[in-house]
């Protein structure tokens, strides 16, 4: 956004950390040969899974015989950086898109029955993907490999928000939105966001905002950071035209 000419106040409302205990993750890594698929729903899942794999003496080569699903191009790129190819990437970069992509790969939902699937992910995440896979007959092991915890917002940053309202508030996840509300003070933060244009990464974050009576002014067509940046650019151009 700075390269696009914006002045950005970055608030680190999320800290990404390893999960404890790591026994379930270790057990899944030790049993990699038993899985048909590994599903990666974020770059953080790739980062923390591969880190733990190497800490236990393994290498990404241990995953070569497995089919790999990446939720989007960023996650696929993170896998490629580790020497791991992606078998499937959905058209919609979200849990529902992953389920449809896997179903299509196997000729329909019925083709998922009996498959053993590993889903390394955040400790707190939506349950729709493991639920739908299990309903189709797949055996799904949901294994947390990282967790989102609240970050910090300095008193100076909060004062800046109060005295110099932003033109656009950008949230890349529901967790970021919820943590911002908690850290900034929910009542004050809601008043601020309800009076400020808000951009969100995709439909899930948009629904979270809507549940809080916050209207998302910018929702990208493609649920990705490049898609979000393009949508913000288009929004900014339209705003500038309207003001001229």
| Closest-CA residue to 132 (of 101, 163, 107) | 101
Rounded to whole angstroms, what are the CA distances from 238 to 165, 203, 231? 20, 22, 11
**pLDDT at site 175:** 93
Query: What is the pLDDT at residue 66?
Result: 95
CA–centroid distance for 86 within its chain: 17
CA distance 165 to 145: 37
Predicted pLDDT at 240: 73
Question: Tens of pLDDT along the chain (244 residues)?
Answer: 999 999 999 999 999 999 988 999 999 999 999 999 999 999 999 999 999 999 999 999 889 889 999 999 999 999 999 999 999 999 999 999 999 999 999 999 999 999 999 999 999 888 999 999 999 999 999 999 999 999 999 999 999 998 998 999 999 999 999 999 999 999 999 999 999 999 999 899 999 999 999 999 999 998 889 999 999 999 999 887 777 6
Residues in the chain: 244
Residue 200 and residue 171 in contact, taking contact as beta carbons nearer than 8 Å: yes
Neighbouring residues of 162: CB distance < 8 A, sequence distance ≥ 6: none
Query: Domain spans of the chain?
Result: 21-144, 152-243
Could you please state the CATH topology (level 3) that the domain comprising 21-144 is classified under.
Answer: Rossmann fold (3.40.50)
Q: Are strands 14-17 and 139-150 parallel, antiparallel or unpaired?
A: antiparallel
Q: Report the pLDDT value the prediction gives residue 244, as an integer from 0 to 100.
A: 65
For the domain made up of 152-243, the CATH class stated in words is: alpha beta
CATH topology of 21-144 equal to that of 152-243? yes
């Amino acid at each position: 956004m700075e390269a696009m000419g914006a002045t950005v106040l970055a608030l680190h409302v999320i800290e990404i950390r390893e999960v404890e205990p790591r026994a379930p993750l270790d057990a899944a890594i030790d049993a990699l040969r038993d899985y048909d698929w590994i599903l990666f729903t974020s770059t953080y899942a790739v980062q923390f899974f591969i880190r733990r794999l190497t800490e236990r003496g393994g290498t990404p080569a241990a995953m070569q015989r497995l089919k790999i699903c990446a939720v989007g191009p960023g996650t696929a790129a993170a896998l490629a950086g580790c020497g791991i190819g992606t078998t499937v990437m959905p058209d919609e970069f979200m849990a529902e898109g992953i389920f449809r992509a896997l179903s299509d790969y196997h000729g329909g939902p019925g083709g998922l029955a009996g498959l053993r699937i590993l889903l390394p992910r955040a400790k707190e995440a939506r349950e729709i993907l493991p639920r739908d896979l299990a309903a189709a007959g797949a055996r799904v092991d949901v294994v947390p490999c990282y967790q989102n915890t609240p970050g910090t917002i300095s008193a100076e940053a909060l004062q800046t928000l109060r005295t110099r309202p932003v033109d656009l508030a950008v949230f890349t996840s529901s967790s970021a939105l919820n943590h911002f509300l908690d850290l900034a003070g929910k009542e004050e933060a809601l008043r601020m966001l309800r009076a400020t244009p808000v951009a969100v990464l995709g439909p899930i974050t948009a629904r979270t905002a809507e549940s809080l009576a916050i209207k998302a002014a910018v929702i990208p067509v493609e649920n990705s950071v490049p898609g979000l940046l393009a949508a913000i650019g288009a929004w900014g151009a339209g705003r500038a035209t309207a003001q001229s």
